[in-house]
Structure 1
Amino acid sequence: MSWSNQNNGGPWKSNPGPWGNGPSRPSGGSPDLEDVLRRGKERLKRWLPGGGIGGPAGLGLLALAAIAVWLLTGFYTVQPNEVGINQIFGRYTGKTDPGLRYNFPGPVGSVTVLPVTNRNSIDIGAVTRDESPRAGGLQLALDKPEESLMLTGDENIADVKFRVVWQIDPSRPEEFAFNLRNPQETVKAVAESAMREVIGKKNLSDILTTDRKVIEPAVQDLIQGVLNGYKAGVLILQVQLLSVDPPDQVIAAYRDVTSAQQDLQRQRNEADAYANSVVPGARGAAAQILQEAEGYKTQAVQEAQGQASRFAQVYAQYKNAPNVTRERIYLETMETVLGGAQKVIIDGKGPGVVPYLPLGSLDAPKAQTGGEK
């Protein structure tokens, strides 16, 4: 069907309707489609030099317009939690911060936008999944014994379930974009290997009791070191032990062992408390005995020194007057010996035994009187 205007009308003039006349355009109505297309074609011919779109100038303008539209597609937006990785012909040219950015569009350039602040977590030894809404949206953990069972340093088996929290390193996102094909699986494999290495150097009893807080930072440092060696561009934020238990077959026996260890620790604490209450008293008594011994020692030494000095003085007087000194010593000795004994005086010069003088009886009332006073 020709769209030219050589038949003095549109296609409706050459193809009348079933009643012999084509559809007529009412006066004052909108123009039909044929008129709109014809007028647009005439305007385009007048605007384009060279007589139409098929001319060289028209093709050049269309090419420039296509290039302009293609260049405008190179604008892209980086969100606050993202970093843009720019490439030109597959070569890394730099990274961009959040905002409206530009890079050559494809196939010349490409942009990879990475969420560098988003935190990702991987559960190893168990898979956590959401339960159906009928169950209240609860989370169920499915055990994966091929990941959780690990050999300890004392040749026992421990069931270790843990979680690794990681994110893309904001300072090296290009390493994450170019050096890792499957980041989730890579981090998981490295984390499982690191945990097996750390668990393999420790005894099961320590793992179950005291070393849990030591294992987490050790595994985190080991994972980070391995990933840095791979230039993975991954930052390990936390390693969290979810559960550390013996295998199900021997868990009852190990619970008894754990209970016994707790009883042992409790008894040790009680013994330490008793020692803390008894030892200070014993030390105080020992210090008292030592002080009394020191006092007795000082007293004995001083008394011995005093007696030696008295003996030296008596000896000096004895050399000056031996008879008088001997008599005085004798009297003092007799006074000391007989001073507290009962005395009976007998006159042996008379013709017979005279009545004795009961000095002891005479002294008793005086002593009793003195006691009453």
Structure 2
Amino acid sequence: MAWNQPGNGNQNDRDPWKNQGGREQGPPDLDEAVRNLLSKLGFGGGNKRPANGGGSSGGAASRGFGVIAIIAVAIWFIAGFYTVKEAERGVVLRFGQYSDLVESGLHWRPVFIDSVQTVDVNNVKQFQSEGFMLTQDENVVQVELDVQYRVVNPRDYLFAVENADRSLAQATDSALRYVVGHSSMDEVLTVGREVVRSRTLELLETMIQPYQLGIQVVDVNLLPARPPEAVKDAFDDAISAQEDEQRYIREAEAYAREREPLARGQVRRIQQDAQAYREQTILKAQGEVARFEQLLPQYKAAPVVTRERLYIETLEKIYANSAKIMVDVEGSNNMLYLPLDKILETQRGGATQNQLQQQKEQPLTLPQQRQPTTQSGGMNDMGRTVDRSSGRG
């Protein structure tokens, strides 16, 4: 028998919807369940359904919406706090339009009304511009330029142009092509690299100034340019030749700086030696003139005695530098002992002294002066012929 059929003695125990109060009941009311929940939260009354339940239900719902609104406002307020980093600046937009510029630190904004875009203004950014370019002498080179820049005006950087970074890259490419197009290939590859770099920087700053990009170009660096691969070997040889030329020029200049002081010193020494020789010759001539001037009065007073004395003095000078031995074979037959070792030693000593004397009197750097040589025979100052072998005049 089913649990809900008549005659079941345990109908009240088995019936989940017990018949209480003398009338039948259906499932629980949804409004009553909501009121019970609100009463547990502190917003409702008892658990009995009032006669007019519409007003009480509307008040509880309004109070629930108020709590939800308060919670939403709290969340909205907390969500408005934001932080700007030390290296950044914040650009505040109110309904999409620029409003203010904030520094680094903690700030608050009304969410859904203001928005903030941060811009890095301290760190230096960089990019490279490269490509094949035509030089003034109609040669193609591959040039690479490294550009370093930083943001100085966040408002202009974000809103002056559509994309400031791309605008700077396009201006850099235009400036570099203009400068390379007005330079020769040798200037781009070797000797004029610094000129190309400085001219590109100057032209780039001039080009971006009217656009107000909010960017400051810190520096540009011209990387090593390369010719096309098809002619790279030939250009490498040309560059090596230019480098060798510069190296040879520097070596020649260094050699000239080394040799010039030595040459100037030698010239100075030769001039001083010539001056000394000149003064020596003049003084010797003056001495000879003075000696003959003093001898002339004596010769006039006693010509014979003076002549003999001059003759004897001349022979003394000659025999002092000669190794010959005079032997009188007519007047005596005595055997003479000749000291040959002394004679040879005297002869060698006399030759050495003559050489030293000539070296002292005549500098090596000057043309050899003609020195008077000793003749085997000649006229003395008195007109007499001297025979050195016999010692008679």
1:148-193 CA distance string (max 9 Å, x none)? 1223243432211233233322xx2222123121112201111112
Match 1:365 to one of 338, 350, 353: 338
1:365 maps to amino acid: L
SS where residue 165 of structure 2 aligns?
helix
- The alpha carbon displacement at 1:367 in A equals 7.8
Cα 1:286–1:263, aligned 2, differ >3 Å: closer, same or farther? closer
Residue 196 of structure 1 aligns with which residue?
177
Q: Matched residues in 2 for 1:124 and 1:369: separation?
A: 97
Give, as a single letter, the amino acid of the residue that structure 2 aligns with 1:180.
V
Is 1:161 aligned to 2:144, yes or no?
Answer: yes
Q: CA deviation at 1:75?
A: 3.5
RMSD of equivalent CA atoms: 5.0
Cα separation, partners in 2 of 1:328 and 1:194, compared to 1, 3 Å: farther
Which runs of 5 or more structure 1 residues have no equivalent in the other structure? Answer: 1-12, 14-19, 26-30, 45-50, 126-147, 347-354
Q: In 2, distance between residues paired with 1:118 and 1:289?
A: 65
CA distance in 1, matches of 2:219, 2:268: 59
**Which AA in structure 2 matches 1:32?**
A
Q: Structure 1 residues 206 and 60, CA, compared in 2 at 3 Å: closer, same or farther?
A: same
| 2:101 matched residue in structure 1 | 95
1:244 to 225, 231, 235: 225
SS of residue in 2 equivalent to 1:86:
strand
Structure 1 residues 326 and 203: alpha-carbon distance in aligned structure 2, compared to 1, 3 A threshold: farther
1:151 corresponding residue in structure 2? 134
State the alpha-carbon separation in 2 of the partners of residues 63 and 33 from structure 1: 20
- The Cα shift of 1:250 comes to 3.0
Residues 318, 325 of structure 1: 8 Å contact kept:
no
Instruction: Determine if contact 1:160/1:245 at 8 Å carries over to the other structure.
Output: yes
1:114 aligns to what SS in structure 2? strand
Q: 1:311 to 1:356 in 2, by over 3 A?
A: farther
Instruction: Work out the CA distance in 2 between the residues paired with 1:297 and 1:367.
Output: 44
Identity %: 25
Alignment of 1:201-220 (within 5 A): 201-213=182-194, 215-216=196-197, 218-220=199-201
- Any conservation in 2 of the 1:88–1:104 contact (CA below 8 Å)? no
**TM-aligned CA deviation for residue 197 of structure 1:** 3.1
Per the alignment, in what secondary structure is the counterpart of residue 289 of structure 2? helix
Q: In structure 2, how many angstroms separate the alpha carbons of the residues matched to 1:196 and 1:313?
A: 93
* Secondary structure of the corresponding residue to residue 183 of structure 2: coil
The one-letter code of the counterpart of 2:105 is G
Name the structure 1 match of 2:293.
315
Q: What per-residue deviation string (whole Å, max 9, x for no partner) do you get for residues 248-305 of structure 1?
A: 44334323322333444455566567x379x54x854763464255235314423422
Distance change (3 Å), C-alpha of 1:327 and 1:152:
farther
* 2:91 alignment counterpart: 85
5+ long unaligned stretches in structure 2: 1-16, 18-23, 46-57, 347-393
Residue 304 (structure 1) aligned with residue 304 (structure 2): no
Is the CA contact (8 Å cut-off) linking 2:145 and 2:223 kept in structure 1?
Answer: yes
Shift of 1:88: 5.1
| CA shift for structure 1 position 235 | 2.8
CA distance in 2, matches of 1:42, 1:368: 154
Q: Does 1:339 align with 2:344?
A: no
Shift of 1:319: 4.1
CA 332–270 in structure 1, closer or farther in 2 if over 3 Å, else same: same
Relative to 1, partners in 2 of residues 1:262 and 1:304: Cα closer, same or farther, differing over 3 Å? closer
Change (3 A) 1:296 1:257: closer
Counterpart residue number, 1:122: 127
Structure 2: distance between partners of 1:286 and 1:119: 57
How many aligned positions are there? 305
Asked whether the equivalents of residues 38 and 60 of structure 2 are also in contact (C-alpha less than 8 Å), the reply is no
Alignment check: 8 A CA contact 1:88 1:110 kept: yes
| 8 A contact 1:344–1:357 mirrored in 2 | no
Kindly provide the amino acid, as one letter, of the partner of residue 302 in structure 1: Q
53 and 218 in structure 1: CA distance in 2 versus 1, 3 angstrom threshold: farther
Q: 1 CA distance for matches of 2:83 and 2:103?
A: 10
| Most deviating of 294-303 and 329-338 | 329-338
Deviation at 1:65, TM superposition (A): 9.4
With structure 2 as the length reference, what TM-score do the two structures score?
Answer: 0.58
**Structure 1 residue 227 corresponds to structure 2 residue 233:** no
